[in-house]
Amino acid sequence: MRIELVELSDENRKQCFALKVAESQAQYIDSNEASWGAALENAEVARPFAIYADGEMVGFTMFAFDEEYEDPNDRYWLWRFMIDESLQGKGYGTAALQEIIKYFREHGANNIRLSTKETNTGALGLYHKAGFRETGEMNDEEIVLQLDLM
């Protein structure tokens, strides 16, 4: 399986907005359209991407890269990550997460941080499998996880 991260653009945005997570997962992540709005509001740090597997759009992800932030351990965040509900359970999430980690490494990140609710057990399992560990910190009502890259 060949995974590509392609910048969200006028050409692929509408298709990306049509991707949805399962109804039971909607409490954990904003819609892709809402995430695009957040990307526009935070254009100086947000990096939104459509996730493609073998040429087919399967998901969406968005990163925060804030190299100017004073705490070097808090500069690089995986803000959004989703695979369309009809394509879950087929290995796309695991493969895409590895490509996301590769992107962070190749772009100079020393770690990746993310946050999610403790009840988001499916996502937590995926993140733990990839090496993310809880930091003991909270981001509002979400636990913070970190993967050290160096």
Q: Indicate yes or no: pTM above 0.85.
A: yes
Q: How many CB atoms lie within 10 A of CB 128?
A: 12
pLDDT at 150: 79
Q: What is the pLDDT of residue 71?
A: 78
Which two three-digit tokens encode residue 34? 């809402």
Domain 3-148 CATH assignment equals 3.40.630.30: yes
Task: State which amino acid sits at residue 63.
Answer: F
How confident is the model over 83-132, as pLDDT tens digits?
Answer: 999 999 999 999 999 999 999 999 999 999 999 999 999 999 999 999 99
Contact in structure between 53 and 92 (CB atoms under 8 Å): yes
At residue 66, what are phi and psi to the nearest 5 degrees?
A: -125, 75
Q: Residue 24 and residue 145: Cα distance in Å, rounded?
A: 22
pLDDT at position 38: 96
Sorted by where each begins, the domain ranges of the chain are 3-148
List all residues 6 or more positions away from 6 whose beta carbon is below 8 Å from its beta carbon: 12, 49, 50, 51, 52
Report pLDDT for 7: 97
Per-residue confidence (pLDDT) for residue 68, from 0 to 100: 79
Which pLDDT tens digit goes with each residue over 24-82?
999 999 999 999 999 999 999 999 999 999 999 999 999 999 877 877 777 999 999 99
SS (H, E, C) the chain: CCEEEEECCCCCHHHHHCCCCCHHHHHHCCCHHHHHHHHHHCCCCEEEEEEEECCEEEEEEEEEECCCCCCHHHCEEEEEEEECHHHCCCCHHHHHHHHHHHHHHHCCCCEEEEEECCCCHHHHHHHHHCCCEEEEEEECCEEEEEEECC
Position 73 scores a pLDDT of 72
